[in-house]
Structure 1
């Protein structure tokens, strides 16, 4: 690599998307748990309520959906021990740093071919962007969905270096990070057999059986999984499998068929590269795969197993379910490997052209991803900021249905009282006076029915909507009935079109939309306040709930 040099502009271009991503993730993190993060905070509380080692271990090993999330729980407990309370921003930072660590394995694969360093620039730009919004600022999703990819990357790298003893430890850790981790043993066994290491493969099988017994002890099927319904439609099932790897298309189109086509194309490219390699092993029994090929094969096995598991458990509800944001980080991961494989097919001149074009594509895709998903990520953060105030003042979180509020109420009161979670009212003193000037904001009101479904049944909720078509800037809504303290709601803005952004320089269109569940509010007539760009005023209109 030395003969190619590593000029400062190239190094800067490689590290720029890393710095941008970290800054973006940190700045959009919030100090309040989100959704299933509750599983992490109640673990810290329950572990302290029991004395015995085995009782504590049982709590840490408790099943969450289809997963035994021992590692995410241990990281949460460790953060609590170090900081004195759970710092969700710290957990998000840890998860994202581990996620970024995958770039090192891409580099090891890329450097196998001894290409110029500048050709690597495309990989961090494709890999680090906010399209997979759940895995940017949601602690438990990052610590499972993102971290498990790092463990698989590390495992395949260790196996490619014939370090199977260390790799088997990684397989155990992966098993207790995310549900698909237990299948890492298949990868280790396969690679060991390809390396003619039958004794090593046997050891892996024995450890796998032991770990499997522990993992599936008192195991129950997750509430979102329905294998029977998924297998009832083979076309949908197969389409979901390929769509799982092609979700990059969601950045511009919601058409699931586009994701299916892209995923199929990328799978075909990887197959064209690997099948001849595996066929050569059959023709030459004493030959083995080189380090890069073993890394690639191990990762493809991991991706194939993961895609199959998600498709079998989730596709019953439609192809769109496997395109959920928490799964979309797999697509850029696949594309980075496809990029390296495509370059390996080409001669020097063609390789330079394709690498240059792909760098342009990667930079544009990265920018488009920030442009497209920024409003969603900010909206999630603003919900956390608003609900922190709502909980302090009303012991309710308006982002959640009433049944969930009732389920978390007692436990969350305990963790706050015990200092396990700390809270701060960011709106304290913002809306103190009823005599502030009233402004005619031209608010529109409507209602809609929200329908959710899992494998156990369907549920409906009534949502209230408040909209405005002309106000610009970040806006929170304040609803107050009588003389008490009011409730805060975030608003969602719509991002501008690309041409509109280029003409005006505005990331968002004017106006906003706020939607919330009526069941969380006491009946009454509510005054409406707007906190827009750090300035508060009352609207002339009111809302009856």
Structure 2
């Protein structure tokens, strides 16, 4: 095979995980705001109605929880200015493209260290997987959590570059990094340390002056949020949580004890990171390098490791109060994968000669296997999350029995792009089923209802079924429909993962039999509700209302203190 043909083959192979990743993203992403996303609507109203540039500046830089999310707000404003409305899918896309930027940097690092093109192959297979599902499908989270990682590693690369123009570019990029997410502030001390080790006195002074200005602007009006519960975890539990954070990539392994494996492999990765950091610091202090870029690579990797380990401390300290399982959440997984990518550099860069190809081929195979595990494991998360988003949107959109969207002519009511969603086709079926019990394609609806159990609890209604075995994806599945004299509510039923590995990988049986959902009374208006089911089967929909009913009582809803 000629070199040109080999390069083409490698390029096409590199595109494979990229195409799969964005195809899956497009399949499940919906233009629906989640939680903090609603703050972007408030920002746009404040920004667009601001009387002067000082007020616009204040809206843009206003604190959001413990963060300054200037980049997210800028992208939201640009999307509104260019498209005439805010579309949260566009924010998701922007965040996912920022994630891809890390792959480009790894190619630069490998190329500058004289590694052939095919050594990049393992990176996208490991980096682009459905393990990132929560960031992938959440507009603000995508820009913030993917953006801070990509911006920080590029900033560190530019900081240690020998070229002055790159260092000058790193100064504003560092500002953008810390204005993307709170842990982006780590770029300031880490950058200073790398310049100190580089013995770049003039650049260090410029960096310290710029860092001081950034820190002053960031903290001059900063107020500590008071919404995190106090952690009562012991030191041992915190240490376990720290290792679970670092090893959270292992959650997708086809094993029973996901937390245990994450803790175990996180401990291994921590020791690997510690070994790399210590040996790298020793080499930097001795300053004996055959190639100048080898030194820059060591500086970059040391800085990135400090960023990962420091972020782990911040997250574990701030989130341990919610329980250690929270540290495996999808939002934090980029740091675990980034640690693996640093380890890969220290495996592949020192290899010379004929050993390189089999090492890389073996790593590609392992990463491709992991990618398969990840997509199979986290598909259920993406499936359930889409249903959570669409049904939430229905319950906000239709506040009365007329099933007509609220007429809101205000600026705030018309900021978000109108996007057709699944429930649009349900409106006539809900009306008809409420009058005559059945509507739509109702084959099997009665049997489905009879096998579903409704269990009233003190604070919630528990709905469960143990035999439903459909493997249809996207919007397909069973939904709970509640109807009072005033309005309708729709809630999704959630599926569990199939733990039978043979059925999962050989027969694509993603879901275990059955479904379940717990509907809190605090989310319902007090009153009596007729209970029914909606069953989406591809493009076919059936709705059934029984003669049974439940009573929802007034339950105080827990409030979360915010600063936005």
Regarding TM over 0.5, the answer is yes
Alpha-carbon distance change, 224 to 364 in structure 1, aligned in 2, over 3 angstroms: farther
Q: Does the alignment pair 1:18 with 2:24?
A: no
> Cα distance, 1:483 vs. partner?
6.4
Of 498-507 and 126-135, the range deviating more from structure 2: 498-507
Q: Describe the superposition over 1:396-433 as per-residue Cα deviations: whole angstroms up to 9, x where unpaired.
A: 9xxxxxxxxxxxxx9x9955533445365523333342
- Which of 486, 492, 495 is the equivalent residue of 1:493? 495
Distance in structure 2 (CA, Å) of the matches to 1:62 and 1:70: 8
Q: Cα gap change, 1:161/1:430 in structure 2, threshold over 3 Å: closer, same or farther?
A: farther
Contiguous gaps of at least 5 residues in structure 1:
397-409, 450-460
2:528 matches 1:524: yes
Report the Cα offset of residue 502 of structure 1.
Answer: 4.4
Match in the other structure for 1:63: 63
1:455 counterpart residue number: none
Select which of 203, 210, 215 maps to 1:207: 210
Whole-Å Cα distance in 2 between the matches of residues 448 and 110 of structure 1? 58
Q: Pick from 302, 324, 342: which aligns with 2:329?
A: 324
State whether structure 2 residue 303 is matched by structure 1 residue 302.
no
Distance 2:36 2:176 in 1: 21
Q: Which moved more, 1:529-538 or 1:38-47?
A: 529-538
Distance 1:165 1:64, change over 3 A: same
Counterpart of 2:267 (choices 253, 264, 267) is 264
Note the C-alpha offset of 1:269.
2.7
Alignment partner of 1:537 is 2:533? no
Distance change in 2, residues 1:263/1:446 (3 Å) = same
Distance 1:448 1:251 in 2: 33
Q: Deviations over 1:286-336 (max 9, x none)?
A: 997622222212211221221221122223444333222210121112112
What's 1:403 paired with?
none
Task: Give runs of aligned pairs for residues 280-299 of structure 1, distance below 5 A.
Answer: 280-284=283-287, 290-299=295-304
TM superposition shift of 1:279: 1.8
How far apart, in 1, do the equivalents of 2:182 and 2:175 lie? 12
Matches within 5 A, 1:34-73: 34-73=34-73
Q: Which moved more, 1:70-79 or 1:292-301?
A: 292-301
CA distance 1:413–1:316, shift in 2 (3 Å): farther
Aligned-pair distance for 1:165? 1.4
Question: For 1:38 and 1:110, how far apart are their aligned partners in 2?
Answer: 41
> Matches of residues 503-518 of structure 1 in structure 2 within 5 Å?
504-518=507-521
Instruction: Give the SS at the match of 1:536.
Output: strand
Equivalent position to 2:454, from 445, 454, 462: 445
How far off is 1:223 after superposition? 3.2
Q: C-alpha separation between the residues in 2 aligned to 1:343 and 1:422? A: 48
Match of 2:556 in 1: none
Deviation at 1:95, TM superposition (A): 0.7
Tell me, in whole angstroms, the C-alpha distance in 1 between the residues paired with 2:78 and 2:114: 41
**Counterpart mapping for 1:51-130 below 5 A:** 51-130=51-130
Deviates more, 1:113-122 or 1:356-365: 113-122
1:93 is displaced (CA, Å) by: 0.5
CA contact (8 A) 1:470 1:510 kept: yes
Paired with 1:61 and 1:302, the residues of 2 have a C-alpha distance of 24
User: Alignment partner of 2:460: what SS?
Assistant: strand
Contact 1:440/1:539 (<8 A) preserved: no
**Partners of 1:395 and 1:51 in 2: how far apart?**
37
Q: Distance in 2 between matches of 1:85 and 1:445?
A: 41
Alignment partners' CA distance in 2, 1:50 and 1:174: 26
Aligned to 2:463: 465
SS for the counterpart of 1:537 is strand
Partner in structure 2 of residue 372 of structure 1:
377
1: CA distance between counterparts of 2:346 and 2:92? 32
1:324-343 maps to which residues of 2 (within 5 A)? 324-343=329-348
Instruction: Report if aligned partners of 1:112, 1:292 keep a CA contact under 8 Å in 2.
Output: no
SS of the residue 2:130 aligns to = coil
C-alpha deviation, 1:352, in angstroms: 3.5
2:159 is matched with 159
Cα pair 1:237 1:311 within 8 Å, conserved: yes
- CA shift digits 1:434-455 (9 cap, x unpaired): 3336623211123567xxxxxx
Note closer, same or farther for the CA distance 1:478–1:237 as it changes in structure 2 (3 Å cut).
closer
Secondary structure of 1:241's aligned partner? helix
Q: Does 1:247 find its partner at 2:258?
A: no
Aligned pairs, number: 519
Does the C-alpha gap of structure 1 residues 541 and 128 become closer, same or farther in structure 2, counting only changes over 3 Å? farther
Does structure 1 residue 430 correspond to structure 2 residue 425? no
- Give the deviation of 1:154 after TM superposition: 0.9
CA contact (8 A) 2:477 2:536 kept: yes
C-alpha distance after superposition, 1:188-210 (max 9, x if no partner): 21222222211221221122122
Cα distance 1:527–1:281, how it changes in 2: closer, same or farther (>3 A)? closer
Contact preservation (8 Å) 2:460, 2:518: no
Unpaired stretches in structure 2, ≥5 consecutive residues: 552-564
Contact 2:110 2:119 in 1 (8 A): no
Looking at structure 2, the residues matched to 395 and 336 of structure 1 have their Cα atoms a distance apart, in angstroms, of 52
SS at match of 1:32: coil
